[in-house]
Amino acid sequence: MIVLEGVGLSYPGGLFGGAPKPVLENVDWVLPEGRVFGLLGPSGAGKSSLAKLILGLVAPTTGRVRIGGRDWRAQRGTVLRAMRRLVQYVPQHPEAAFNPRLSLGAAMRELFRLHDLCPGERREAQLGAALDRVGLDRALLTRFPRQVSGGEIQRLSLARALLLEPRYLVLDEATAMLDVSIQARIMRLVLEVAAERGMGVLVITHDIHLAHAACEAVYTCENRGVHVLPGLVQQQPAG
Amino acid sequence: MTIALFLFRRLGMAAATVVFATALTFVLTHLAPGDAAEIILSRVFIGDPETAGARSDLAVVATRFGLDNPLALQYLEWARNAVHGDFGVSIASGMPVADEIAERLGPTAVLALASTVAALAVTAGLVAAVRLVPRTRLAVDAAAVASVSIPNFYLGLVLVLVFSLGLDLLPVSGAGSWRHYVLPAAVLALGQFGYFTALMNASLRDADGQLYVLTARAKGLPPHEVFRRHVLRNAIVPVVPYVALQVAFLFGGVVVIERLFSLPGLGGYLVDALDVRNAPALLAAIAVVAVFVSVANLTGDLLLYALDPRVRFSGRG
Amino acid sequence: MTAMRLSVPSFLVVLGTILLVPVAVGLFRDPTGISLADALIAPSPAFPFGADHMGRDVLARIAYGFLWDSGLSVTIVAASLALGVGLGLAGGYLGGAFDGALTIVMDLLVALPHLVLAIVLMAYFDQGPVALAVALTLPGWVKYARLARARAAALREADFILMERVVGAGPLRILLRHMVPNVLPPLAGLAALHLGHTVLNVAALGFLGLGLQPPTPEWGGMILESRPYLYQAPWLAITPGCFVFLFMMIFTLLAARLEARAGEGEREDAHAAA
Amino acid sequence: MMTSPHLRPLAAAVLAASLALPLQAAAADPADTLRAADMWEIDNLDPARSGTFVKEKAMVVESLVEASPDFSLRPGLAASWERTGDREWTFRLREGVTFHDGTPLTAEAVVASIDRAFKVTPTLKTMPQIDAVTVAGPLSVRVTTLVPSAMLPATMVQANLAIAAASSETTAEGTIVNPVGTGPYKVESWRRAEKTLHLARNDAYWGERPAIAHIVFRGIPDPSTRSLEIQKGDVDFVPDVPYGDLDMLARKGFQASRHVTARVYQLDFGSLKGSPYADARVRHAISHAIDRKAIVDKVLFGMGAPSAGPFTNGMSFAAPGIAVPAYDVAKAKALLDQAGWIEKGGVRVKDGEPFEVVLYTYPQRPGLPPIATALQGMLARVGIKAAVKLLDSAAIPKAQRPRDMRLIALTTAMFPDPDFFLRRNYHSAGANNTWGYADPGVDRLLDAAASANDPAARKAAYDEVQRIAARDQPTVLVSYYGVNIVMKPAVKGFVFNPVAHDYMLGTGLRLER
């Protein structure tokens, strides 16, 4: 379960740059596992900041962000690494999400070493299975990020996230750059996997239709806070 | 960022640079092997570096020059006096360092200015040649590469052989008339123009590609008119600040060239001071060089600030 | 030096040959053997580049001088590169107080003429190769650090670096495996130019009597030692001078070539940092 | 030409700056002006600091006592002197001498000048230990010492004790910038920015009137530049051009001459205790391994001479019968063998330890680095491996280990008395004796001679010390120091005075243009 308690975030104003700029204030939000939520909002409202808070990439100025009961901020070393596996991320620009100087295969195989996912001899099989699941050919692995199409790399980005078997997946405008038919196919794939694994999904988007179609509940991010979008709530789960 | 803030930060940095440079030199002169009192005793008082002095005289010297105080205190004392224009007494000559430095500012300033102006003139000529005379590009590029590649002390030796001894046109060394500056300034200018030419050519190419230049061409303006009215003007502007920033590099050359030509300037003073472990003279020379370079950097930054709006927001570091 | 239209690669081969052939020959000869009977012998079949005031073979001294000058310069450039990239990346990636301190130190170091700084350092230390390497590395790393820091600051916010953190990579792994390979390539041109400049500075220090000390064969020191014999034996000064010139020219051209490859945008960064 | 508006102010500034520079120094009648170069910067004119220049070269001031070319004493501003007590000497001044400002030379003026010199340069009072200088009569000066001293008149020869009038212009700190002396030339102007000193003949000089009316001195510290300058023709007289240039300059028609001075190149051992040099055979072996003639001929291009004892033949206090140690590689090898240093693969080894040392020297005297390099080669021939290292002379003592050597150039007569060199180097408490040579016989001889009255007895004692040093080789003397002088053909009448620290111009010079 992801829990935000009284979370506030402001960016520093610089040495001579005046007062700090608040982005979020006093946000309380609970995201249980196994459910699919949407987050809507105009650009600049703090959607990406929320994603970074949840992913532990940014520390809140006030309050706490906890994953499975653990505060991001208190974690170090192996515990932190294990915690990282719990929440994975598919960003908006997948072509920028891979190191341009590493082959895609190298980028994927690094994960095994990083988390010691499975014994060496089973790694290739596991990687193959992950690619199969998102419908990609293994030949892709010898290429570099700029040598593949947007749809392919977005799938690969998804495969990378799923390989770590997270409890949560955050999609940050993950399909916004793709054309509609591919967009729908990827969303369907995500929902299938989420259902199979009982994984929670947060879909950050500015596409209200997509949110409606895919999510059990939709929130908006406005006025430095998170609000339930009325009329679309199916059921607010208990904290 | 406002201009006041920008100036404030840059001035602070300049002051810090001067303090850093002198403090570093101060520490170095004291860490150096060889007892400071011994050096002063044999070189200043006995006048013969190989002749050791009496033990009892060492104490006299140490007390007179404040050498038995803690290092930090000695530096503060030095800085306090330096701010009031008192740089102590030269170990080599026994004369006030401030007077000696003052006498040596002129030749260095003349040398730096003359060589920079000459380098810019050569640059202008070469750049114009590339534009106006066909098939000169290769020769100009080769000249620029040669310019940045030739060791200045070597070039100086060759020029003396040719122009002083071979052709008997110019003096070998010393100061006293404008003729003494011709060769040293020429050596420095020949070492600098390659940098300016490369910078200018790059800047010209950028200007060439600008929309207004293309527009001017499309309007049917003759090529030399386009060059003069649109390309040149816009190409010079970004180069100007770098000329000011070149001063730090120039100083390295000045040190070597003044030594080579026995020109009584600041650079030669600095090296002479090192030769005989003349700490007061060295510190003063370093302080003045640091001030010089800081002022030049500040000027360069202000020019950039005035000419390039992007800098106003980044503040250049 | 991007204005280069010379056919750079072929030119480099020619210059490199002129430099390396005498060096290769000279390495088989004795650079320190003193034979006062041979003092100041002019270039001849026995001594292709002549003999110096101690009767030592100038060809051999040029060759061993090449080993000293280029070896030291490579060491200095490598050390500057490692230090500059390391500190620059750390500053750019970590930010905060460390970055603030780094910026101040860099600003202080660029504001001092590097040769002057090196001259002062050399004068007060044991004038051996280690001191020389330190004296030239101390100001040398800054230009790499400036570039690396700027690139690292930009890369820090890059999506693929964020993703590395998301999948659980630690800071050290991110720096070494992901930032360094993306920071190094544009520095190659800078390093080539720096190598040439370093040979020039090593020689200049030698000429001022503050570099490697005789009887070590070093090009700048050879020119200094040859000054008293400028008349009787001009080849003593001319030969090492030509080799410094040649070395610097090769690396200037190489730098131009590498810079042209690194692309227009990065060229401007390099000039600003240099 | 680029017509950038940015450049115009720059050009104007350069033009203004170059116009502000003084035009070529307009010397008086060039036919009557000697243009001389000195090897040091002319950056101080205080006799108490730069006496060597102001007295010996510029001839502006004079000392109470002077020395003849054989280093024996002769009257200067003092016509005579005598020992008037155990620790007291009295000097009687020459009559009718006036300073350049017309005031007479009196005992008061001398005492004031010497007292001022003691303040500026305190070491003048401690070498030897002077107690006080007082007025004993209108033309009589009394000097008392802390201990009985036979060499006091010799110390009065020191250039830094030369007499300047109280009217000499000084800085706020009391440094003289315009010395008023009694010498054959007076200061006309000191143009520091041009590094030149302009001198004019003193027509009221008490001694022989010089022939040349004006002298312009320029400081040119770089030897190569001095050589270039005389070839270019901008100076008439230069000392110490690069040694290798001399023959070429002679061929071109210049008068080029080599002279030996009272300075010696000396190879010192780090310590005579706890090192290979504790064994005198090793010291002798090293001395025999050195080809002194080749060093003088080939390395120094004939400058100087192979050294026997510390004092050259022309010096009155050189002991007779001391020979230059023979160059004998076989003997050197045999001595090392006897001392237990056995050759193994080119390097001698004793008790498993190879004979590998560092040979330190410093670059300020141009002869030292090449001599060190030559010594390295000569030592290698007998199996001693020496690495040459150049350091500042002040830094060498701290870097040196007992087994290391250093090559230095020592003055042997800062004032013309044998005590100066012999005590510093061979007395167990000598200021230079860092290698720890201690011979009770030598100490006794030196201490007795320092206070003795009888010149013959002193001479005998000092001769004996020189013979013992030659026998013991506590340090190895390599060669005497040479200086060269190059003059245009028009300069006539130059006589080298070996008493000079570098050279003296003398009043006998003429110009025949």
Q: What is the predicted pLDDT for the residue at D18?
A: 42
Q: How far apart, in Å, are the Cα atoms of C124 and each of B66, B68, B298, D391?
A: 21, 20, 30, 10
Instruction: Write the ipTM.
Output: 0.73
d(CA A27, CA A7): 5
- Over residues D340-354, the pLDDT tens digits come to 999 988 899 999 899
pLDDT tens digit sequence for A188-228:
888 888 888 888 888 888 888 877 777 888 888 888 888 87
Segment (H or E) for A50:
helix A47-54
Percent of chain A with pLDDT over 70: 92
For strands D88-93 and D140-145, give the pairing.
Answer: antiparallel
> Which residue in C has a C-alpha nearest to residue A90's C-alpha?
C163
| pLDDT reading at B62 higher than 50 | yes
Residue D77 in contact with residue D96, Cβ under 8 Å?
no
- For the stretch D156-179, pLDDT in tens is 999 999 999 999 999 887 889 999
Nearest to residue D367, comparing CAs of D464, D279, D243? D243
Strand partners, D258: D484
Candidate from C123, C214, C230 with C-beta closest to D224 = C230
- With a CB cutoff of 8 Å and minimum separation 6, the contacts of D475 are D266, D267, D268, D269, D425, D435, D437
| B92 chain-D contacts, CB cut-off 8 A | 41, 43
Whole-model pTM: value is: 0.77
pLDDT above 70 (res C1)? no
> What type of residue sits at position A79?
V
Give the domain ranges of chain B: 12-97, 101-275
> What mean pLDDT comes out for the span D330-340?
94
Burial class (CB in 10 A: 0-12, 13-18, 19+), D398: exposed
Q: Do D160 and B47 touch (CB under 8 A)?
A: yes
Strands A168-172 and A200-204: parallel
Chain A positions touching C162 (Cβ under 8 A) are 52, 57, 89, 91, 97
Name the average pLDDT for chain A: 81
Give how far Cα D343 sits from Cα of D335, D351, D404, Å: 12, 12, 19
What residue spans of D431-473 are helical by DSSP H?
Answer: 440-451, 455-472
Q: What is the pLDDT of residue C264?
A: 44
Binned at pLDDT 50, 70 and 90, residue D253 comes out as very high
DSSP-assigned letter for residue C134: H
Kindly determine whether residue D224 and residue C53, on different chains, have CB atoms separated by under 8 Å: no
Distance CA C139, CA C110 (A): 7
Q: Which of C103, C249, C267 sits opposite B145 (nearest CB)?
A: C249
At residue D50, the pLDDT reads: 87
Of B121-130, C4-13, D16-25, D405-414, minimum mean pLDDT range: D16-25
Residue range D215-226, pLDDT digits in tens: 999 988 888 888
Integer CA distances (angstroms), C142 to B311, C103, C132, C145, C254, in order: 21, 10, 17, 5, 21
What are chain A's domains?
2-233 (3.40.50.300)
Q: Residue C213 carries which DSSP code?
A: P
In DSSP notation, D386-440 reads EEEEE--TTTHHHH--TT-EEEEEEES-SSS-HHHHHHHHHSTT-SS-TT----H
Environment class of residue B111 by beta-carbon count within 10 Å: exposed (0-12), middle (13-18) or buried (19+)? buried
Q: Indicate if the pLDDT at residue C141 is higher than 50.
A: yes
**Residue B265 distance to chain C (closest CA, Å):** 14
Question: How near does any CA of chain D get to the CA of C3, in Å?
Answer: 19
Let me know if B46 is exposed, middle or buried by CB neighbors in 10 A (0-12, 13-18, 19+): buried
User: What is the least distance, in Å, from the CA of B252 to any CA of chain C?
Assistant: 5
Task: Indicate the range of C28-42, D163-177, D305-319 predicted with least confidence.
Answer: C28-42
What Cα–Cα distance (Å) separates residue A5 from each residue in A44, A52, B293, C79, D71? 22, 15, 54, 49, 100
Cα–Cα dist D500/C129, whole Å: 40
The shares of helix, strand and coil residues in chain C, as percent rounded to the nearest 5, are: 75, 0, 25
The span from the CA of D196 to the CA of B284, in Å, is 23
Report the gap between the CA of C107 and the closest CA in chain B (Å).
8
Q: Which CATH architecture has domain C8-37+47-264?
A: Orthogonal Bundle (1.10)
Q: What is the C-alpha radius of gyration for chain C, rounded to an integer number of angstroms?
A: 22
CB contact under 8 A, C214 and D242: no
Question: Which of residues D379 and A174 earns the better pLDDT score?
Answer: D379
pLDDT given at position D20: 43
CA angle B107, B113, B116 (to 5 degrees): 135
Residue C85 has pLDDT above 80, yes or no: yes
pLDDT at residue C3 in the model: 43
The nearest alpha carbon in chain C to A54 belongs to C166
| Sequence-ordered strand ranges (E) for D149-285 | 169-170, 176-178, 185-191, 196-201, 214-219, 237-239, 255-269
Report, as an integer, the average pLDDT of B222-243: 72
Per-residue pLDDT at C262: 64
Query: How many other CB atoms sit within 10 Å of the CB of residue D455?
Result: 10
pLDDT > 60? residue D3 = no
Rounded mean pLDDT of D243-261? 90
Token pair for A52: 């970074």
Structure tokens at C98: 């460390």
Q: What single-letter amino acid sits at A172?
A: D
Say if CB A212 and CB A233 are below 8 A apart.
Answer: no
Residue D206 has pLDDT above 80, yes or no: yes
Nearest to A237 by CA among A200, A186, A187: A200
Distance between CA atoms of residues C260 and C257, nearest Å: 5
- Characterize A158-168 residue by residue with b for buried, 16 or more Cβ atoms within 10 angstroms of its Cβ, and e for exposed: bbbbbbbebbb
How confident is the model at residue B8, as a pLDDT?
A: 84
Q: What is the pLDDT of residues A89-106, one digit of tens each?
A: 888 887 788 888 888 888
Is the pLDDT at D54 greater than 90, yes or no?
Answer: yes
Has residue A234 got a pLDDT over 60? Answer: no
Q: What is the mean pLDDT of residues A10-22?
A: 64
Confidence of residue D29 (pLDDT cuts 50, 70, 90): low
pLDDT in tens, D421-474: 999 999 998 888 989 999 999 999 999 998 888 889 999 999 999 999 999 999
Please choose, from the candidates D167, D185, D168, the residue with its C-alpha nearest in 3D space to the C-alpha of residue D176. Answer: D168
Residue C181: its chain A contacts at CB < 8 A? 99, 101-102
Instruction: In whole angstroms, give the CA distance from residue B1 to residue B107.
Output: 39
Q: For residue B22, what are its two tokens?
A: 């002198």
Q: Report the pLDDT averaged over residues C96-114.
A: 83
Output the six-digit token pair for A45.
Answer: 């409202």
Out of C157-166, D7-16, D479-488, pick the least confident. Answer: D7-16
Classify domain B101-275 at the CATH topology level. Answer: MetI-like fold (1.10.3720)
Comparing CB atoms, the residue among D248, D366, D373 nearest residue C54 is D373
Name residues whose C-beta falls within 8 Å of residue D411's C-beta, 6 or more positions apart in sequence: B48, B50, B51, D262, D263, D421, D501
**pLDDT for the residue D16:** 43
D123–B240: do the CB atoms touch at under 8 Å?
no
Give the dihedral sign, CA C110/C112/C117/C119. positive
Q: Using a CB–CB cutoff of 8 Å, tell me whether C77 touches chain B.
A: no
Cβ–Cβ under 8 Å, residues D389 and D401: no
Tokens of B68: 């038995």
Residue D478 contacts residue D291 (beta carbons within 8 Å): no
Q: What is the pLDDT of residue B317?
A: 34
Q: How would you label D251-263 residue by residue, b for 16+ Cβ within 10 Å and e otherwise?
A: eeebbbebbbbbb
Assign 3-class secondary structure to D2-60: CCCCCHHHHHHHHHHHHHHCCCCCCCCCHHHEEEEEECCCCCCCCHHHHHHHHHHHCCC
| Tokens (6 digits) for D8 | 């115009």
Chain C meets chain B (3+ C-beta pairs below 8 A): yes
Give the pLDDT confidence score for residue A4 in this predicted structure. Answer: 87
Residues paired with B96 in a beta bridge: B89
User: Which residue in B has a C-alpha nearest to residue D21's C-alpha?
Assistant: B177
